[in-house]
Structure 1
Amino acid sequence: MSINVLAICGSLRAKSTNRGLVRYAQAHAPEGMKIHVADLMEIPFYNADLAEKPESVQLLLQQIGQADALLLACPEYNYSIAPALKNALDWASREADNHLLTGKAVAIMGSGGGMGTSRAQYHLRQVCVFLNLYPLNQPEVFSNAFSGSYDNNGDLIDERIQGLVSKQLDALLSWHQQLNR
């Protein structure tokens, strides 16, 4: 069984350590898993008054619709979810009957300050409840962006965190299979 995963990174910086987590996950996905990465650079803030969805939003919604599962790289801004990630979920949640998100398996990871992105990830889990997404409980991936775990380009170099990411991807594959029996 193969699984299409859409990775959505809440950081827009090219050298973001959260993007580094996504790049590592994409390069080391387990057999049977293909990870595509959403580009949030051109996604405007959600606005119900827009007569037509911008092309960037239409592409994001198409990618979410084609995904079997989601991988959310969650930076922590002011103890909460980064606006770019929350905005992407807001756009998707406004689709008819929330059909794009309902029932999808989700893996959450993040890189940030001293506690990684634990506070933001807990807020994101609350959002997942409302959106009827099914986040993995374990393994949790909280990484300190300033601990030497990443190189100057934001790429993950810490073997322990690499192992956690690999375990999380294996668990996502298994979780998706359980949900779709």
Structure 2
Amino acid sequence: MSSKTRIVAFSGSLRKDSYNTAAIRIAIEMAPTECDIELLDISKLPLYNQELDGDKVPPEVLQLAEKVITADAILFSTPEYNYSVPGVLKNAIDWLSRQKPQPFAGKPAAIMSSSMSQLGGARAQYHLRQIMIYLDVHFVNKPEVMIAGAHEKFDSHGQLADATTRDFIGQLVTALITLNHKLGPSETTYE
């Protein structure tokens, strides 16, 4: 391999002390040396408005789309809100889904979730998979990383003390890199 696998990461939470953003930081720490993970900022995106499509697309959206287009793979970490993904994550996906070329098309992706609930965000993960099928995203199936009782596993500094969970996050990143190599470069550019 001549270059590193470039992964862009989306946190579905804007909260300063987000467990999901902390999980992405753990993924960055656990990533093998042949991989770079960049946490994307979706906090400044306006609400999706079809009247802003075409030549009126906000620059924040175009910059985000370019980062996804040039990435090799995508990592999502999402909380569960009302059995689904948070609106801020869905808004980012909706904006990107309207861009040409389609930034998500053909990309490998992985999902993890952190929640204070006993299910660890499982329903949000399954809903996110449904949403992304239409956009032709190829998901890692295993391991599934659902961090239940996140408030007990992360400390006040966002550090994850649970060694088993840390290992699962590392395995998920490795599985995403492996899937990226299996799929090869994405040539898909659905209009």
TM-score normalised to structure 2 length = 0.89
Counterparts of residues 85-96 of structure 1 (less than 5 Å)? 85-96=89-100
Structure 2 segments unaligned to the other structure (5+ residues): 186-191
Cα distance in 1 for residues equivalent to 2:182 and 2:80? 30
**Does residue 71 in structure 1 map to residue 75 in structure 2?**
yes
Aligned to 2:180: 176
Aligned to 2:12: 10
Contact conserved, 1:116 with 1:143, CA < 8 A, in 2?
yes
**Does residue 108 in structure 1 map to residue 111 in structure 2?**
yes
Where 1:148 maps in the other structure, the secondary structure is: helix
Question: How many Å apart are 1:103 and its aligned residue?
Answer: 0.7
Aligned-pair RMSD on alpha carbons? 1.4
Contact conserved, 1:23 with 1:155, CA < 8 A, in 2?
no
Cα distance in 2 for residues equivalent to 1:7 and 1:147? 22
Cα distance in 1 for residues equivalent to 2:142 and 2:77? 15
Contact conserved, 2:19 with 2:150, CA < 8 A, in 1?
no
Paired residue type of 1:180: G
Where 1:73 maps in the other structure, the secondary structure is: strand
Aligned to 1:20: 22
1:2-31 deviation digits (Å, cap 9, x = unpaired): 210000101001101001100111122112
**Does residue 163 in structure 1 map to residue 167 in structure 2?**
yes
Question: How many Å apart are 1:62 and its aligned residue?
Answer: 1.3
Contact conserved, 1:148 with 1:158, CA < 8 A, in 2?
no
Cα distance in 2 for residues equivalent to 1:86 and 1:168? 22
Q: Which contiguous aligned blocks of 4+ residues in structure 1 show a shift greater than 4 angstroms? A: none
Cα distance in 2 for residues equivalent to 1:151 and 1:130? 37
